A = this chain, B = another copy of it.
Amino acid sequence: MNSPKPYVIGIDMGGTNTVFGVVDARGVVLASNSIKTRKHADFNDYIDELHTEIMRLLSSIDAEDKIFGIGVGAPNANYFTGMIEDGVNLPWPTPIPFAQMLSEKFGIPVAITNDANAAAIGEMTYGAARGLKDFIMITLGTGVGSGIVINGQLVYGHDGFAGELGHVIVKRNNGRLCGCGRTGCLETYCSATGVARTAREYVEITDEPSLLRDIPVEEITSKDVYDAAMAGDELAKRVFEYTGNILGEALADFTVFSSPEAFVIFGGLAKSGELLLRPLRESMERNMLSIWKNKVKVLQSELKEADAAVLGASALGWEAKPLTVTMVQPASAAPAAPMA
């Protein structure tokens, strides 16, 4: 165990799959695999399978003794406490002391953060944000997540939960109901789910012909809207205009907070490319305070989605410190001492 430790493990726990990989210092994914996140009703069984599969992966590349640390991106994961906190759509009771459990299982230091923060770290270390000290990662998936980097450092805030930009209220009146229990949150409009909701509304409140009418209205997905728009469907194109317009208004507002050099757009919906980015950029500039007009870039992620979260999580692995007693304290109003 005194040999050099040239690799880290990155783990991305998603709602469906948990992907993990072995990564070297230059960001090369040497090997990767995945398990189903929801297969086990008991979290201990999930950890056991994860451990077994990761050990198998390490063995396949003869790397069992070469791991410096483990970095994890997971929903509602708190960098300070090492816990997956309450209020998240997972099949287990929360909070879960995930960092502690993993660290004990592997005997290796573990650092965890939420998935959007992990993506931001990955983008800063290996992707479109290389060299940027001030940027905001916006992840457009089932929800809208964000990772905020200021002066080269990820913003965790007082309690480790900073950067929940998907829950900025963009419609004060008559806004859509959000999973958080409030109404009008950005993610009810500008996530993949939000795009599907907008398309369903358009189909239901107008008589306009559309390819989307061939699909039962409750089954329309953002992918359907993308396909229809690419086939020239006017209604579908307007769904992207509407979505980009709201997201552009929001990014203009976010700019006054931290004055970023760029926004990096990431996630399933970001693959819509200019369908979304053109109206987004136009709206952002139209709504921008004059001192920032035409100065803030909107970039697409340069990381393959399959790699980004694992790479981001793995980059966090280099920061992981050995387990300390402060990490096992339950989350409370006063933050525990940082793990790192």
Q: Which residues of A contact B (CB under 8 A)?
A: 85-87, 133-134, 148, 150-151, 153, 155-165, 167-172, 180-182, 249, 252-254, 256-261, 287, 289-292, 295, 333
Chain B residues lying within 8 Å of A159, measured Cβ to Cβ, are 259, 295
Q: Which of B87, B153, B156, B164 contacts A256 (CB 8 A)?
A: B164
**Within the assembled complex, what's the spacing in Å between the Cα atoms of A168 and B256?**
7
Chain B residues lying within 8 Å of A155, measured Cβ to Cβ, are 150-151, 257-258
A sample of 11 inter-chain contacts (CB < 8 A) reads: A85-B291, A86-B291, A87-B290, A133-B158, A134-B158, A150-B157, A151-B155, A158-B261, A160-B259, A163-B256, A169-B252
Secondary structure class of chain A's binding surface, majority of residues: loop
Distance of A204 from chain B, by nearest CB (Å): 23
Does A87 lie within 8 Å of B291, measured CB to CB?
Answer: yes
Distance of A180 from chain B, by nearest CB (Å): 6
Closest to A288 in B: B182
Distance of A176 from chain B, by nearest CB (Å): 15
Does B158 lie within 8 Å of A259, measured CB to CB?
Answer: yes
Distance of A78 from chain B, by nearest CB (Å): 10
**Within the assembled complex, what's the spacing in Å between the Cα atoms of A164 and B291?**
11
**Within the assembled complex, what's the spacing in Å between the Cα atoms of A256 and B159?**
11
